[in-house]
Amino acid sequence: MKKNLFIVGIFIFSFCGKPGEPVDYLARVNNEYLTPDYIKTVYSEITADYTNNSDYMKSIVSNWVKNEILYQQAMKYRFDKDKSIQYKVENYQKQLIIDAYIRLLLQTNIHVSEDEIRNFYIQNRSSYLRDVDEAKVSHLIIDDFDEANRIKNILRSRNRKDIDQLFSNYRFETKVVRRGESIKELDKNIFESPPRNILGPIPSDYGYHIIEVISRYKARTIRSIDDVRNEILDKITQAKIQDYYNANLDSLLSITDYEIKHENINTRTFFP
C-alpha cells in the first residue's frame, strides 16, 4: 500500500517532505514541502534553458502547489483505497520502469556511424530533391519596434563583441523555410533579397521580425548531406530501435515462463 501511495504522489506531482521544515524549500502546502532536490529529480531531463528561466520555474512551483492542495483534499475522501486507482497507479509504475529499462538498453546498444549516414544519403539522394525554393535563415521576433531596429543595426555592424552579447540575451532560431509557407511579407523579403542580408523590422501579428538570410536554394536542387544529416540520423536510429526492441522482446519471450489462456479470454465477459 505504501508503494501505491508513493506512486500516486509522483503521478500528480506531490512530494512528502522529511519530518521538520527543509531549509531550502520552494513551496509548502500544510506539512508538505517542495524542495530543489525534488525539482532536480522529477525534471532531470529539462535543459538549462528552461531551468534558468524564472517564469518557467515559477509555473512549475505554482502547479505543484495547486496539485498538492487538490491531492490533500482528495485524500480526505480516501481515494487511495479505490481499487481501480491502485491498479492504474501500479500499471503506471510498471510503465515507468519499463521505459527506464528500454532507455538504458538503447543508450548502450544503439549507435549510428558516419559511414551509415553517408551510405543512406547516397542510396536515397534523389529523395532529398527540393520541390520548391528554400532559404536558410536566422530569425528573431521582438515586441518592441525600437529594440528590433537596434538589434538589426548591431547585426549589420558585424561587430563580433556586440553580436555575441546579443546572442547571449536573445535566442535566435536558425531554420530552413520553404517558399510560400511564411506570411506573405516575410516570404517576399526572404526570397527576393540578396543572401547574407539583414531584413527587418518586418511587422506581423506576432511582433517585429529580424531575419538574416544565410543562403538560398532553388527548386530541383538536392539538399546536401549536412542539411539532412539529423533527418537521416533519426531515420536510422528509429529503425535500429525497432529492430533491437523486437529482437530483445523475442529473446525474453523465448526464455520466460508465461501463459495466455485464450479459451478464458474468448468466453469471459469483461464488461456488462
pLDDT in tens, 209-238: 998 888 889 999 999 999 899 999 999 999
Residue 132 has a pLDDT of 93
Domain residue ranges in the chain: 2-85, 130-217
| C-alpha span between 209 and 204 (Å, rounded) | 8
Statement: residue 272 has pLDDT above 70: no
Residue 50 has a pLDDT of 63
* pLDDT band (50, 70, 90) for residue 40: confident
- For 130-217, the fitting CATH number among 3.40.50.970, 3.10.50.40, 2.40.50.40, 1.10.8.590 is 3.10.50.40
Residue 185 has a pLDDT of 81
Q: What is the pTM of this model?
A: 0.60
User: What percentage of the chain has pLDDT greater than the value 90?
Assistant: 49
Residue 5 has a pLDDT of 41
DSSP string, 77-142: TTGGG-HHHHHHHHHHHHHHHHHHHHHHHHHHH----HHHHHHHHHHTGGGGB-SS-EEEEEEEEE
Residue 19 has a pLDDT of 55
Statement: residue 10 has pLDDT above 70: no
| C-alpha span between 181 and 198 (Å, rounded) | 20
Q: Tell me the mean pLDDT in the region 21-33.
A: 91
Residue 192 has a pLDDT of 83
* Bridge-based pairing state of the strands 207-217 and 32-34: unpaired
Statement: residue 92 has pLDDT above 50: yes
Residue 4 has a pLDDT of 46
Statement: residue 47 has pLDDT above 90: no
Statement: residue 48 has pLDDT above 90: no
Give per-residue pLDDT as tens, 113-171.
Answer: 999 999 999 999 999 999 999 988 888 998 899 999 999 999 888 888 888 888 888 88
Residue 1 has a pLDDT of 44
Q: Tell me the mean pLDDT in the region 38-48.
A: 78
In three-state secondary structure terms, 216 is strand
Residue 251 has a pLDDT of 96
The mean predicted confidence, pLDDT, of the chain is 86
Residue 12 has a pLDDT of 42
| C-alpha span between 50 and 93 (Å, rounded) | 26
